[in-house]
Structure 1
Amino acid sequence: MTKVEIFDPALCCPTGVCGPSVDPELTRVASSIFFIEKKGLDIKRYNLGTEPSMFVENEKVNQLLHEKGTEALPIIMVNGEVVKIGEYPTNAEFATWFGMEEESLKAEKSKNRLDVEFK
């Protein structure tokens, strides 16, 4: 079974919706991870700000941080091997690694409309 690990820079939240502006890339990644986890697949995400021990304990991540500094983040590992440095995976890459359709990583738009009347 495929195992994907994402080593994030220090983030106040992994969704990208906190702070003064929304980061659409973080929002896309968080959404993709949600759908992957929902399927019971093995994906983990570590935040440098809250889980620094994970960065120290992983020799490959630790070495990259010593060589390139935090500019190397995010670091993406698949089955223990570094596959991407300094940028997040695309939905196509997630789909390939997990053997799924890329479309399954996109949120479905709700068909139910909610009519709210303000008084």
Structure 2
Amino acid sequence: MTTIEIFEPAGCCATSSVVIDQNALHFNADMDWCKQQGFEVKRHNLLKNPQSFISNPRVKAFLDVSGTQSLPVTLVNDVVALTGRLPNREELARWFGAEVTPISTAPTSCCTPTARA
């Protein structure tokens, strides 16, 4: 079974500032998609869970070299898979060995069927 852990900087949230971060909003939707698929992604926030950063040798070593400004860091099966940004749905699906239906961005009308991701 695949395990994915994301170690995020303090305040890493779609609504943590006056300006809403669209990437974080997309990531939250991707996390909802993971839940719908039955996939578990463990998230650790530096402000809320600092001990998880210190107790994980890979994350601690990463922070010792790169610093907190290089967060987030994503581990897949305890291996660093991505740094500096949050993963997207396609990456999550690949790591879980799943297929993902692309999110439709085409305009729809009352008579056009919509694609659901």
**TM-score normalised per structure 2:** 0.80
SS at match of 2:10: coil
1:44 to 31, 42, 63: 42
SS at match of 1:77: strand
CA RMSD of aligned residues (A): 2.1
- Once the 2 structures are TM-superposed, how far is the Cα of residue 47 of structure 1 from its aligned partner? 0.4
SS at match of 2:101: helix
Give the share of equivalent positions with the same residue, in percent: 32
* Alignment partners' CA distance in 2, 1:19 and 1:86: 19
Q: Mark the runs of 5 or more structure 2 residues left unpaired by the alignment.
A: 110-117
* Alignment partners' CA distance in 2, 1:49 and 1:4: 20
| Residue 95 (str. 1) matches residue 93 (str. 2) | yes
- Once the 2 structures are TM-superposed, how far is the Cα of residue 99 of structure 1 from its aligned partner? 2.0
* Alignment partners' CA distance in 2, 1:85 and 1:91: 16
* Alignment partners' CA distance in 1, 2:8 and 2:17: 17
Cα deviation, 1:10-52, whole Å, max 9, x if unaligned, reads 01x63x0342011011111111112212322121111001100
* Alignment partners' CA distance in 2, 1:54 and 1:26: 21
| Residue 70 (str. 1) matches residue 71 (str. 2) | no
Q: Mark the runs of 5 or more structure 1 residues left unpaired by the alignment.
A: 112-119
